A and B are shown apart, each in its own frame.
Chain A
Amino acid sequence: MGLSHQGIVNAHPGIALKAVCDSSTYVLDVLSKYTGVTTYADYKKMLAEVPLDCLFVATPSKYHAEIVAAALERGLHVFCEKPFGLDPATGYRLAEMAERKGLVNQVGYHYRFVAAFNEAKRLLDQKLIGDLHHVRVEAYGPVVLRPKGSTWRAQKSEGGGALFDYACHAIDLTNYLIGVPKSVSGTVLNSVFSNDVDDEIYSTLQYSDKCFAQLATNWSDDSYRKMSVRLNFWGSNGRINVDRQEIQIYLRSHEDTSDGLTKGWNVRYTTELTRPVWFYVRGEEYSAQIDHFVQCISTGATPTSTFRTASDTVLVAAMLRQDAGKSRTAVQLNPAGDANALQPPASRPRSFMRSLLDHL
């Protein structure tokens, strides 16, 4: 991610890349030799020596808080990768600090910049499918297919695991589209292949008495070529099914067709929804989020994804972890397999003959 951001930042006409800091001296040497960028192995030294306006942080998550705080202290605008640190309290504290100092603060939840998801948001905000009663959010991908992982992503203490690395994208996107859940229950955190971290997360998220979501994340599925995020929304007037490239809208009724939508199925694709960016690598959304950050610095606007919204996401992740750790209250299967035994005697159904005899 760091190299990807560096390329996009370096190609942006509105900002000038002045220095790069990394823990790998090998990478720094190659970058210095072939791109001429000034390099540092110590971020404190870099912040002290180089006059800067903003900082992009793409380190392993456990270093986010310390580095972001140091940058904010120096009055820098900050773009930080997700998840924003590993605990919500620290995240909110940094959000408050940035807001107090009037500094632009953004987190790399790039799905907020995908046109298809924004189209879904626009239609949901308009209540096109009526009152929402159910949401299903799924994120699958082929990241961990073997027990042995030798990077920080494979270690819980480093912020590794599917909950922080994968599910956070799904949680953040859902927060963006319909808001933060009030509670979570029935959370499952499982390892499929990993030794130290979770590979899959499933949970029920409650928004109100009438609206629940089901979250499903699994990064051990190589039937997917790359990370795939999909959301399904069920409302009183229909359904929206959306992924990164396509939005399918089913409407039970739709009077005003001036918006180009009709009753029944409607499909819109990224080819018509997505605007080109000034520089493209891997996806428009990666460039769009950086451009957004730069524009917010110019205009003083609040970014679409901030330290505060990112801390909401880490908070929900913490709720999931806490819920998964609790002892489960489940309804056990009765070993006798007798379904009647589950019902209280008064409501036991009477046999047909018995009912007939009663009436004679």
Chain B
Amino acid sequence: MDRVLFGDNQFFGVNHMSEEKARAQSMRFQDGKAIIEVLDDAYAEGVKTFMCTTHERMTEICDYFRANKDKFPDYVFYPCMPYAHKYANAAAELGMLGAVRSFLPEENKLGALLKGGISLARQDVEGLARLLIDAEMKMFAGLNTPVIFLQNVATDFLLGLGFDEAFKMFADCVRERYQAEPGFITMNAPLLVPRLEKLGISNPIVCANINKVGFRMCPSIQAYEELIAQGRCRLVAMSVLASGALAPRQALEYVCQFQNIESIVFGASSRRNIAQTKQLIDELTRS
């Protein structure tokens, strides 16, 4: 994995510190062109992996990168699925089964339709999961997706319920169908890692909040520091700036001190901030 990954919260009106900031970003990035401009800037600064949710708006971004492969020959996507609000809103409106049905591929392939219906009826969760993953991955066809992540709402939901087998289903599907490495985004990394190991998923890719102020590091910052020291997973640190609460240098000094953190994902909307963050990470990683 690249050392520096680019995140997408700012593009979709997500800011975990301030709803006001989130709304301003949401307005700025209404147009796909605005998003592409920022990704272009990031690429120019040497950030060529985009870790993004499977939001419908991503289709436009994917189209652009498909059409411009020569301009971005080494560009990499790490899809993060599912986009939880899509499912939550559908479930509130249609009930759980109705929601699942609405997201199954409506393709003309009779096979897909039949498979969906049969999977639903037989409670073949694995079959259903594969179909849903396919539906989420459709927009990335033809693009380089070497790592595919399970979003934290899904990961932590399943973790709480004790439905660990779902992680194995996800991992197997991602490896077999997409020849990619499975990754798990979570807000409960110290709890998740041993459970993945028990399933035979060793040295998993795990993306979690890691920042100097312990923001959303559950159960505690100490538990995370212990996990990092143990070196039993490939860590991607997110929310390193605690959604804007920390100044870049002090935030990154904290994260870069840990040898066992493989990558850092951050989001920014100006070339200046992207450049500053990338340069700081490079500087602090070398030292």
Interface of A with B (CB < 8 Å)?
Answer: 3-4, 6-8, 10-11, 24, 26-27, 29-31, 33-37, 142-144, 146, 149-151, 153, 225-226, 228, 230, 243-246, 269-272, 274, 276-282, 284
Contacts and interface: CB of A to CB of B under 8 A. Distances in A.
Q: Report the contact-size class of chain B (Cβ under 8 Å from the partner).
A: 35 or more
Contacts, number: 122
A225 B19 CA distance: 10
Nearest to B84: A282
Contacts of B199: none
15 contacts: A4-B157, A10-B161, A10-B162, A35-B162, A35-B163, A143-B89, A225-B13, A243-B19, A271-B17, A272-B213, A277-B219, A279-B219, A280-B188, A281-B187, A284-B216
A31 B161 CA distance: 8
Contacts of A35: 161-163
A7 B215 contact: no
B243 interface: yes
B287 interface: no
Interface stretch (B35-43, B91-99, B229-237, B260-268): B91-99
A24 B218 CA distance: 32
Closest 6 A-B residue pairs measured CB to CB?
A7-B160, A271-B245, A280-B187, A281-B156, A280-B218, A35-B162
Contacts of A246: 17-20
A271 B16 CA distance: 8
B218 A276 contact: yes
B218 A277 contact: yes
A10 B215 CA distance: 24
Nearest to A17: B162
B106 interface: no
A63 B140 CA distance: 45
B217 interface: yes
A359 to B, nearest CB: 56
Given A143-B89, A271-B213, A7 B159 contact: yes
Nearest to B213: A271
Contacts of B163: 34-35
Nearest to B91: A151
A45 to B, nearest CB: 22
B220 A143 contact: no
B165 interface: yes
B210 to A, nearest CB: 13
Contacts of A272: 213, 245
A278 B85 CA distance: 24
Given A26-B97, A280-B187, A36 B162 contact: yes
Nearest to A271: B245
A98 to B, nearest CB: 27
A274 B16 CA distance: 12
Contact of B94 (A3, A27, A151, A230): A151
Question: A4, A30, A243, A271: which has the most chain B beta carbons within 10 Å?
Answer: A271
A269 B245 contact: yes
A225 B18 contact: no
Contacts of A230: 19
Contacts of A271: 16-17, 213, 215, 242-245
Given A150-B98, A225-B13, A279 B188 contact: yes
A27 B218 contact: no
Given A143-B89, A143-B93, 6 more contacts: A6-B161, A7-B157, A34-B165, A143-B92, A151-B93, A281-B187
